[in-house]
Amino acid sequence: MSTVHVVNRRDFLKTTGLAGSALILGVNVLPRRSEAGVLDDADFQPNVFIGIDEDGTITLTVHRQELGQGGRTACAMMLAEELEVAIDDVAIVQAVGDLKYGGQHTAGSTTVVTSWTPLRTAGAAAREMLIAAAATNWGVATSECRCERGEVIHGASGRRLVYGELASAAAVLPVPDSPELKRPEDYKIIGKPTRMIDVPAITSGAAIFGYDITVPGMLYASLERSPRVRGTIKSYDADAARAVDGVVDVVELEAGASGLNNNSIAVVAENSWAALEGRKALAAEWDSGPLPDETSAEYGVRLEEIASQPGRAAREEGDVDAALAAADRVIEAVYTGPYLAHSPMEPPVATARIENGVCDVWASAQAPMWARQEVAAAIGFSPADVTVHVPLVGGAFGRKSKPDSSVEAAMLAQKIGRPVRVAFTKEDDIRHGFYRAQNCQKYIGAIDGDGNVSGLLARSVFPAIGWQFSGVQEGPYGGALSQGFSNIPYRIPNLRLESGAVGSSLRIGWLRSVHTTFHAFGVNSFIDELAHATGRDPVAFHIELLGEPRILEPSNEDRANPYRFDTGRLSQVIEAAAEMGNWGRELPEGHGLGIAAQYSFRSYVAMVAHVSVDASGDLTVHEIHAAVDCGPVVNPLTVEAQMQGAVGIGLSFALHGKITVKDSVVEQSNYHDYPVVRLDEMPTVHSRFIQTEGLPAGIGEPGVPPAAPAVVNAIFAATGVRIRDLPIAGQNLR
């Protein structure tokens, strides 16, 4: 149970927007290990705040950002449910970046996971305190009172008091130790389809995203960055850039020690267009820097060589070498995937102002507390003098976890002495990313004389996230491998799962579902290959190999974490998806169904894809049937939207996504050479929820991993062509 505190409003920071509230409750969201360091529980203060004003306004500070995943709406729903108000009665204040929020990083599909207990507990505590205040006022027992639509009601007499009238009296009452949470069957809001609170502002054009922030006196900057990581400036024509109408200044920015930024030349101007035109005039040339040359085709060959040699065991059970030696048949396959860029619609952007010794940053940021630390370090300020504000974020998918644009904006504001917005172009976004790793997986399966899978030897090779921060190019280990590889749930008696180390000339980052994107592709493709090789139906084969339900301990998470990987839940979603997709039905020539299922980020998703390939080899993905078990669903509209979105991005990667490098420089630049799914390629997505009782899990990421293997397996069913290298585009399907 989370501890709820009454917050003294005299001590209250004005930035929370709650200073005027009569009753303020604070509650702790779970501390989590952050990228900027491990948080000390002893320092952990209340960090999500609920305010009730005397006029009845209810305000909730949300410590997670809205990236389109519906997190803010879910937070408001969880509070409103226990507080017995309508969701429209809750005003959201977006929290600024602060380490006290612990897991403020909006990533890992954790907003609902971390907020579920604290927010409901805080709402229930406020409800009980308001009831106590009303009961005292009326001289009746609290048990005779109830809350409804923002009022406390005395049932017997019909007397009513609105929350605003009770807030001041409630504020001096003790906070209940363990307020009683509502029973799920009494929910009026949780589990009910609820529209995202930001929709009206979005559709009218009034919504303000990071790219829309303006500050009085602000200048617009466009940065020419080193095309290679850690490259250095050779030459540029500052005069030519300054000669462009509207250009104010040309400034060099040095890469910091953090590894977040590359060396760059900033053109600062009166408007975006002048900054872009000035930048073109720079004609900058660069020295290569310390990293070796990398070219994608050669790099791919190297990954495959590493995958062909013994690696470092991440998990070993039985004796796979003996099983392979004794095998009746050995099935081998190698699966590869390229680097991927996030390419959200809104490129990275941040605006910074330094005035009177304090720095304010407005950024499309997933990790504003990290931005605050890095900005402070970059400009020599104390973090206490840096505030990072987060407007709406125009898509992120992991890219905006990195506070590089915030650091650049703050450094530039300090150098030029005026507020400045640093806006990436789409080309900057594609070329200066933190990419999903290029990868190679090798699977060797042993089939015994009875046609059963008796052994599996598998290797996963990819460059590790974060080498640019640690400087150490090794790994991948531990947590990275537990994303769909070292926790393979299939019961195979003899098993060895290994990793191989490789460096990279690109910066590697988190991209929606991270390493599960390729591990799910490898594992689900190979299971499908084994099914066909042994003459089994793929759906039945998944279920058979999963066997009796069992609990797999998460290997990279806190043992006290109540979330467990239950293989029975994976079997359930597979059966549900198969039923939804009418698995086994007769299909016309050239059509096929494919199955894939994955546990990731605490949720279970299975997808059945229906595809067709015509005589000329053109692929159509008709439908995706998605069965989801993320526990109790907070907002069905959000889960449905996330399934559609996961298919959209998963298909974009499966069909088209490919970032390549030549001499360590990214070759793609925009949506013409890094295409994504458009409306005519988008299949109809049908979703079904299997709401296993217990705790709700995240949904931002878990839909992505099964999309690509479901489609690839369906292509095999339709044509007999096995795709082992993504993307699919350009490959012969007939």
Partner 1 sequence: MATLLINGERREVNASPGMPLLWAIRDLLGLTGTKYACGLGICGSCTVHVDGEPVQSCQTPISAAEGKAVTTIEGLSADGTHPLQIAWQEINVPQCGYCQPGQLMSAAALLANNETPSDADIDAAMNGNICRCGTYQRIREAIHRAAGAASTDGGGR
The binding site for partner 1 (CB under 8 A) comprises 66-70, 193, 195-196, 198-200, 202-209, 211-212, 214, 220, 245-246, 271-273, 343-347, 392-397, 423, 425-427, 620, 622-623, 637, 641, 644-649, 652, 670-672, 676-680, 682-685
Distances (CA, A) of 629 to 144, 532, 694: 39, 27, 11
3-state secondary structure of 314: strand
User: Minimum distance between the CB of residue 639 and partner 1, rounded to whole angstroms?
Assistant: 12
User: Minimum distance between the CB of residue 34 and partner 1, rounded to whole angstroms?
Assistant: 24
The shares of helix, strand and coil residues in the chain, as percent rounded to the nearest 5, are 35, 25, 45
First CA to last CA distance, the chain: 58
Q: Report the residue number, 406 or 612, with the smaller CB distance to partner 1.
A: 612
Is the Cβ–Cβ distance between 649 and 207 less than 8 Å? no
User: Minimum distance between the CB of residue 531 and partner 1, rounded to whole angstroms?
Assistant: 28
Q: Report the residue number, 270 or 448, with the smaller CB distance to partner 1.
A: 270
The CA R_g of the chain, rounded to the nearest whole Å, is: 27
User: Minimum distance between the CB of residue 664 and partner 1, rounded to whole angstroms?
Assistant: 25
User: Minimum distance between the CB of residue 166 and partner 1, rounded to whole angstroms?
Assistant: 33
User: Minimum distance between the CB of residue 425 and partner 1, rounded to whole angstroms?
Assistant: 6
What count of other Cβ atoms lies within 10 Å of the Cβ of residue 233? 16
Q: Report the residue number, 26 or 594, with the smaller CB distance to partner 1.
A: 594
Q: Report the residue number, 207 or 552, with the smaller CB distance to partner 1.
A: 207
User: Minimum distance between the CB of residue 680 and partner 1, rounded to whole angstroms?
Assistant: 4
The tokens for 726 are 């993504």
Sheet with strand 151-154: strands edge to edge: 145-148, 151-154, 160-162
The tokens for 537 are 């139906």
Distance CA 711, CA 521 (A): 10
User: Minimum distance between the CB of residue 239 and partner 1, rounded to whole angstroms?
Assistant: 19
Q: Report the residue number, 39 or 207, with the smaller CB distance to partner 1.
A: 207
User: Minimum distance between the CB of residue 431 and partner 1, rounded to whole angstroms?
Assistant: 14
For β-strands 661-662 and 591-600, DSSP reports them as unpaired
Q: Based on the number of CB atoms within 10 Å of its own CB, is 18 exposed (0-12), middle (13-18) or buried (19 or more)?
A: buried
Q: What 3 state SS string does 52-79 have? A: ECCCCCEEEEECCCCCCCCHHHHHHHHH
Angle (nearest 5°) at CA 7 between 4 and 9: 160
Sheet with strand 603-613: strands edge to edge: 591-600, 603-613, 619-629, 684-689
* Nearest CA-CA partner of 338 in 173, 518, 554: 518
**Torsion angle (degrees, nearest 10) of CA 297, 294, 468, 428:** -80
Going by C-beta distance under 8 Å and a sequence separation of 6 or more, which residues neighbour residue 473? Answer: 463, 464, 467, 501, 502, 503, 504
Give the chain's length: 734
User: Minimum distance between the CB of residue 675 and partner 1, rounded to whole angstroms?
Assistant: 9
Q: Report the residue number, 27 or 409, with the smaller CB distance to partner 1.
A: 409
Q: Report the residue number, 570 or 607, with the smaller CB distance to partner 1.
A: 607
Q: Report the residue number, 169 or 643, with the smaller CB distance to partner 1.
A: 643
User: Minimum distance between the CB of residue 204 and partner 1, rounded to whole angstroms?
Assistant: 4
Q: Report the residue number, 270 or 725, with the smaller CB distance to partner 1.
A: 270
Q: Report the residue number, 154 or 353, with the smaller CB distance to partner 1.
A: 353
User: Minimum distance between the CB of residue 374 and partner 1, rounded to whole angstroms?
Assistant: 24
Q: Report the residue number, 196 or 457, with the smaller CB distance to partner 1.
A: 196
State the sign of the Cα–Cα–Cα–Cα dihedral 417, 418, 424, 428. negative
- Which uninterrupted H or E stretch holds 148? strand 145-148
User: Minimum distance between the CB of residue 220 and partner 1, rounded to whole angstroms?
Assistant: 7
Q: Report the residue number, 396 or 527, with the smaller CB distance to partner 1.
A: 396
* Nearest CA-CA partner of 305 in 534, 459, 530: 459
Q: Report the residue number, 228 or 399, with the smaller CB distance to partner 1.
A: 399
User: Minimum distance between the CB of residue 515 and partner 1, rounded to whole angstroms?
Assistant: 21
Instruction: Tell me which residue has tokens 């499908």.
Output: 528
Q: Report the residue number, 82 or 346, with the smaller CB distance to partner 1.
A: 346
Is the Cβ–Cβ distance between 122 and 112 less than 8 Å? no
HSE of 492, CA atoms in CB hemisphere, 13 A: 33
The phi, psi pair for 516, rounded to 5°, reads -65, -25
Distances (CA, A) of 14 to 18, 82, 93: 7, 26, 12
Q: Report the residue number, 184 or 200, with the smaller CB distance to partner 1.
A: 200
| Neighbour-count burial for 611-629, b at 16+ CB within 10 Å, e otherwise | bbbeeeeebebebbbbbbb
Distance CA 216, CA 408 (A): 19
Please name the amino acid found at residue 492. I
Q: Report the residue number, 629 or 640, with the smaller CB distance to partner 1.
A: 640
User: Minimum distance between the CB of residue 245 and partner 1, rounded to whole angstroms?
Assistant: 6
Distance CA 405, CA 724 (A): 36
Distance CA 471, CA 253 (A): 21
User: Minimum distance between the CB of residue 607 and partner 1, rounded to whole angstroms?
Assistant: 14
Q: Report the residue number, 295 or 670, with the smaller CB distance to partner 1.
A: 670
User: Minimum distance between the CB of residue 135 and partner 1, rounded to whole angstroms?
Assistant: 39
Distance CA 671, CA 676 (A): 7
Whether the link from the prior residue into 216 is cis, omega within 30° of 0, is: no
